[in-house]
């Protein structure tokens, strides 16, 4: 019998009758090699089962088998060749007959338990009850088209490739059989849309570098798909066609289906048109069905959902590398209507497929009631932008530069010479050759001077502290002073960051160009960045932040009685944790301590190790361990939830939020321990963080709609996960505070109250 495996652990199973066939790469080619009992004796000088003892001593980090510290493969082999087994080794050690010396002796003697545990872990368990016979596993002919259909439905994209189901053997459909390109006058098309009350379309744009634009593109055409006749028609949109866009897009009763409606919202707004009647965005629906397939483009979606060969077009037009979902084509080339016809057909088809899947997974209301309305909220937020006080920014830049100059002088003095601190090469020479600091890591080009290395050297010389600070200030200056400047719109004097809805795997919103969600909060100078963001004259920022939102969600989902009780009584879990960890009476806990303790709460509930927690808090591992145990004893329901959810996720393959946002976790089935651990953390974190994200979206929609309903002029300008900010007119201030509080706290009814903390200020820094 032959065992085919890529895992060398199977060698322990080799006998005269059982051969292990193992792949190995040689000069880029994969070949196989066979191991039976004879070959193993030859190669290792041991019987196959003795390899378990070798592993017991040596350990295996990828399987998390500890082994005996300080013992590598060579030593382990030598020991087992000499003593035959771990049992025998320790017998001899105990009788004093093993003749070991020094450090090695110590290591072996002190780690008997680890050695035996590792041997047990390294042993393949052969007494598994299996009732199937070999005959049951015989591979039979399979129905490729059927399998392909199933894989497609399940989004098993990698499997499609692996079983070459996208290759030659599956006949691709010819796009020309699927839809027909027809010619119609603009008027005819508009009449038809008005009559049908719905429109499926693809938007064609060209680049427009006008620096005043938020989206540097312009609409030049619409390709519209008629589902009744399966016909696609392209209409060019010229400068004088604003009326056409208005007729279609400002009519709320015409339901629109396309891809990336958020971008379209902004494109239309740039023409002075309000986009109403958003109905279905296929990028959003496909993201909800599988959030790890993020930022889906038209090509990706066609590949994923349809059996169409796109190659024909790809050859003619080299793929453009860009983030945008819509193509940007030069005007004269916009005659490539066939391709856009196909896109419009694909949008209709993908809508059909995804909407069926949304129904099957119970995610319809998530899509229609949360995600679709969120598009407009986020687009509008980007359109509003955040006002930046350029003088304040200059001032901040100047301060940083001065600080950097001082630091430079100090560093030169400490080093005893001048050099370019920004050059890793020169810095390396100064630190390791001139100052003779211990070399921690080398790179191809010389000495490593990255942060990890410097952190380790901190105690060796005071210069390191200065260099670390220098680096931090340089980074602040380049990302937030120089970096922010280039994003300020010359017309609005505002920064219009992108808020993405299809990027994170948890359902959270993310931000880029620039990322406003990760401006530092931990150190004062970083926080200062927030001072440059201000409301315009006569306005004020109203900021609202959920209090302990994720812990409240966790209390609700895990049904932990103690935590539910604590929240009902209005207790502050972060503060309690701080009081315990820092051994401070609860009323004396400082803001910083409370903030530090968040790491404890979030760490523990999302499965941090004692080691990780010790590192984060700078305490002993033993203390961290005690703390985790105590914490999980106090909140026993949370422990049960964490174990239960991982098990459930392993079984079902996915986790869900309260609103049925689903995330698949294939990592839980990995053969690699670390990958599985990652999967477990994802399983614990996603339902909680994802539900908090769902709640925030609901709250934002409520706030947005309420502002509109009351005809107020205040605007949402920012969201940072559990925080939302409005630039409010002074005279609307009280009303806005009330709307925010009310909408956020009533977004959903949990078993514990939701609390939103409202503050107001004349800049972002002073909020809270």
Q: Give yes or no for residue 543 binding Mn ion (CB under 5 A).
A: no
Scanning the structure block, which residue is given the tokens 């004796």?
A: 41
Q: What is the CA radius of gyration of the chain?
A: 31
**Among 53, 260, 550, 727, interactor with ligand CTP by CB under 6 A:** 550
**Among 184, 242, 295, 721, interactor with ligand CTP by CB under 6 A:** 721
Q: Give yes or no for residue 572 binding Mn ion (CB under 5 A).
A: no
Q: Give the range of 207-215, 286-294, 377-385, 544-552 binding ligand CTP by CB under 6 A.
A: 544-552
> With the CA atoms of 113, 117, 118 and 120 taken in that order, what torsion angle do they form, in degrees rounded to the nearest 10?
150
Instruction: Report yes or no: 204 and 218 within 8 Å, Cβ to Cβ.
Output: no
Strand stretches in 27-151, DSSP E:
29-35
Scanning the structure block, which residue is given the tokens 């966790």?
A: 554
* SS3 (DSSP) at 21: strand
Pairing of strands 756-761, 539-546: antiparallel
Nearer to ligand CTP, 217 or 545 (CB): 545
Q: Give the range of 340-348, 594-602, 623-631, 746-754 binding ligand CTP by CB under 6 A.
A: 594-602
Q: Give yes or no for residue 602 binding ligand CTP (CB under 6 A).
A: yes
Nearer to ligand CTP, 335 or 523 (CB): 523
**What, of ligand CTP, Mn ion, none, does residue 225 touch, CB below 5 to 8 Å by kind?**
none
Chain-centroid distance, C-alpha 684:
15
Nearer to ligand CTP, 421 or 613 (CB): 613
Nearer to ligand CTP, 372 or 754 (CB): 754
- The encoded tokens of residue 671 equal 């053969």
CB of 256 to Mn ion, least distance (A): 35
Instruction: Report yes or no: 562 and 631 within 8 Å, Cβ to Cβ.
Output: no
CB atoms within 10 A of CB 283: 25
Closest CA relative to residue 238, chosen from 186, 182, 181, 183: 186
Q: Give the range of 343-351, 595-603, 635-643, 709-717 binding ligand CTP by CB under 6 A.
A: 595-603
Scanning the structure block, which residue is given the tokens 């404890």?
A: 600
Distance between start and end Cα atoms, the chain: 70
Nearer to ligand CTP, 241 or 723 (CB): 723
Q: Give yes or no for residue 722 binding ligand CTP (CB under 6 A).
A: yes
Site for Mn ion in 711-740 (CB under 5 A): 722
Can you tell me the distance from the alpha carbon of 377 to that of 64, in angstroms, rounded to the nearest whole number? Answer: 47
Task: Please count the residues of this chain forming the interface with ligand CTP, following the rule CB under 6 A.
Answer: 13
Q: Give yes or no for residue 545 binding Mn ion (CB under 5 A).
A: yes
Nearer to Mn ion, 23 or 753 (CB): 753
Nearer to Mn ion, 628 or 696 (CB): 696
Look up residue 9 and give its DSSP letter: G
Q: Give yes or no for residue 548 binding ligand CTP (CB under 6 A).
A: yes
Look up residue 485 and give its DSSP letter: H
Q: Give yes or no for residue 545 binding ligand CTP (CB under 6 A).
A: yes
CB of 754 to Mn ion, least distance (A): 11
Angle at CA 551, nearest 5°, toward 550 and 557?
Answer: 90
Instruction: Report yes or no: 40 and 46 within 8 Å, Cβ to Cβ.
Output: yes
CB of 450 to Mn ion, least distance (A): 32
CB of 699 to ligand CTP, least distance (A): 13
* SS3 (DSSP) at 610: helix
Helix 102-110, helix 86-95: angle, nearest 10 = 110
CB of 598 to ligand CTP, least distance (A): 4
- The encoded tokens of residue 342 equal 């196909």
- For 251, phi and psi rounded to 5 degrees? -90, 105
Site for ligand CTP in 687-706 (CB under 6 A): 689
Q: Give the range of 278-286, 407-415, 541-549, 649-657 binding Mn ion by CB under 5 A.
A: 541-549
Look up residue 207 and give its DSSP letter: E
Q: Give the range of 14-22, 430-438, 597-605, 627-635 binding ligand CTP by CB under 6 A.
A: 597-605
Task: Please count the residues of this chain forming the interface with Mn ion, following the rule CB under 5 A.
Answer: 3
Contact string (CB under 5 A) for Mn ion, positions 679-708, x = contact: ------------------------------
Instruction: Report yes or no: 747 and 739 within 8 Å, Cβ to Cβ.
Output: no
Nearer to ligand CTP, 357 or 601 (CB): 601
Nearer to ligand CTP, 418 or 592 (CB): 592
**What, of Mn ion, ligand CTP, none, does residue 599 touch, CB below 5 to 8 Å by kind?**
ligand CTP
Can you tell me the distance from the alpha carbon of 658 to that of 693, in angstroms, rounded to the nearest whole number? Answer: 11
**Among 92, 152, 471, 598, interactor with ligand CTP by CB under 6 A:** 598
CB of 689 to ligand CTP, least distance (A): 6
Q: Give yes or no for residue 547 binding ligand CTP (CB under 6 A).
A: yes
List the 278-281 sheet strands across, edge first.
180-182, 231-236, 217-226, 198-207, 255-258, 278-281
Angle at CA 629, nearest 5°, toward 626 and 631?
Answer: 105
**Among 117, 147, 468, 599, interactor with ligand CTP by CB under 6 A:** 599
Can you tell me the distance from the alpha carbon of 706 to that of 698, in angstroms, rounded to the nearest whole number? Answer: 12
Binding site for Mn ion (CB under 5 A): 545-546, 722
Binding site for ligand CTP (CB under 6 A): 545-550, 574, 598-599, 602, 689, 721-722
């Amino acid at each position: 019998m032959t065992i085919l495996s890529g895992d060398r652990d199977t060698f322990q199973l080799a006998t005269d009758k059982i051969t292990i066939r193992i792949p190995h790469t040689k000069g880029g080619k994969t070949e196989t090699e066979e191991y039976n009992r004879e070959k193993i004796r030859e190669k290792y000088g041991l019987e196959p089962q003795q390899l378990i003892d070798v592993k017991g001593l040596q350990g295996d980090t990828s399987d998390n088998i500890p082994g005996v510290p300080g013992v590598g493969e060579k030593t382990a082999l030598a020991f087992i060749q000499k003593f035959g087994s771990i049992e025998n080794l320790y017998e001899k050690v105990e009788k004093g007959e093993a003749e070991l010396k020094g450090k090695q002796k110590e290591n072996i003697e002190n780690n008997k338990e680890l050695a035996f545990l590792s041997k047990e872990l390294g042993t393949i368990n052969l007494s598994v009850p299996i009732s199937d016979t070999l005959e049951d596993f015989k591979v039979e002919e399979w129905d490729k088209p059927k399998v392909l259909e199933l894989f497609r439905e399940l989004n098993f994209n990698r499997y499609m490739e692996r079983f070459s189901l996208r290759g030659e053997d599956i006949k691709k459909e010819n796009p020309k059989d699927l839809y027909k390109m027809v010619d119609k006058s603009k008027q005819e098309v508009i009449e038809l849309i008005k009559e049908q009350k719905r429109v499926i379309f693809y938007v064609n744009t060209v680049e427009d570098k006008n620096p005043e634009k938020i989206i540097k593109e312009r609409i030049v055409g619409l390709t519209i798909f008629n589902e009744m006749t399966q016909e696609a028609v392209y209409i060019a949109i010229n400068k004088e066609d604003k009326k056409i866009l208005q007729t279609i897009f400002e009519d709320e009763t015409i339901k629109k289906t396309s891809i990336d409606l958020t971008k379209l919202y902004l494109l239309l707004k740039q023409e002075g048109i309000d986009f109403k009647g958003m109905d279905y965005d296929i990028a959003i629906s496909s993201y909800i069905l599988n959030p790890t397939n993020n930022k889906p483009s038209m090509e990706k979606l066609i590949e994923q959902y349809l059996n169409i060969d796109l190659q024909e077009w790809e050859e003619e037009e080299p793929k453009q590398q860009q983030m945008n979902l819509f193509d940007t084509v030069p005007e004269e080339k916009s005659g490539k209507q066939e391709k856009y016809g196909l896109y419009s057909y694909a949008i209709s088809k993908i809508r059909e497929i995804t909407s069926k899947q949304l129904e099957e997974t119970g995610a319809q209301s998530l899509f229609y009631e949360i995600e679709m309305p969120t598009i407009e909220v986020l687009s509008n937020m980007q359109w509003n932008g955040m006002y930046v006080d350029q003088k304040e920014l200059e001032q901040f830049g100047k301060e940083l530069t001065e600080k950097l100059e001082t630091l430079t002088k100090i560093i030169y003095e400490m080093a005893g010479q001048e050099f370019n601190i920004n050059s890793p090469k020169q810095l390396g020479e100064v630190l390791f050759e001139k100052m003779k600091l211990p070399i921690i890591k080398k790179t191809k080009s010389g000495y490593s001077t990255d942060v990890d290395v410097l952190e380790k050297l901190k105690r060796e010389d005071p210069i390191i502290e200065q260099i670390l600070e220098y680096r931090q200030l340089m980074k602040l200056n380049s990302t937030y002073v120089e970096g922010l400047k280039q994003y300020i719109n010359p017309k609005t004097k505002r920064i219009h960051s992108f808020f993405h809805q299809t990027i994170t795997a948890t359902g959270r919103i993310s931000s880029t160009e620039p990322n406003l969600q990760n401006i530092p909060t931990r150190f004062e100078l970083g926080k200062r960045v927030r001072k440059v963001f201000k409301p315009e004259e006569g306005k004020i920022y109203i900021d609202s932040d959920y209090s302990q939102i994720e812990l409240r969600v966790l209390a609700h989902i895990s049904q932990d009685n103690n935590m539910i009780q604590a929240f009902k009584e209005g207790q502050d879990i972060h503060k309690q944790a701080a009081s315990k960890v820092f051994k401070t009476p609860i009323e004396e806990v400082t803001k910083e301590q409370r903030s530090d303790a968040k790491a404890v709460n979030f760490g523990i509930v999302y499965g941090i190790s004692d080691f990780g927690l010790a590192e984060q808090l700078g305490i002993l591992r033993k203390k961290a361990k005690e703390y985790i145990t105590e914490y999980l004893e106090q909140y026993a329901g949370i422990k049960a939830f964490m174990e239960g959810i991982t098990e459930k996720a392993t079984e079902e393959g996915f986790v869900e939020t309260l609103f049925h946002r689903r995330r698949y976790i294939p990592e839980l089935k990995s053969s690699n321990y670390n990958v599985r651990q990652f999967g477990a953390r994802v399983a614990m974190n996603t339902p909680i963080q994802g539900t908090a994200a769902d709640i925030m979206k609901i709250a934002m929609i409520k706030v947005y709609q309420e502002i509109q309903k009351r005809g107020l002029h205040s605007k949402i300008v920012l969201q940072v996960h559990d925080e939302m900010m409005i630039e409010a007119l002074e005279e609307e201030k009280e009303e806005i505070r009330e709307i925010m509080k009310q909408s956020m706290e009533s977004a959903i009814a949990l078993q514990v109250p939701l609390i939103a903390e409202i503050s107001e200020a004349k800049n972002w820094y002073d909020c809270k």
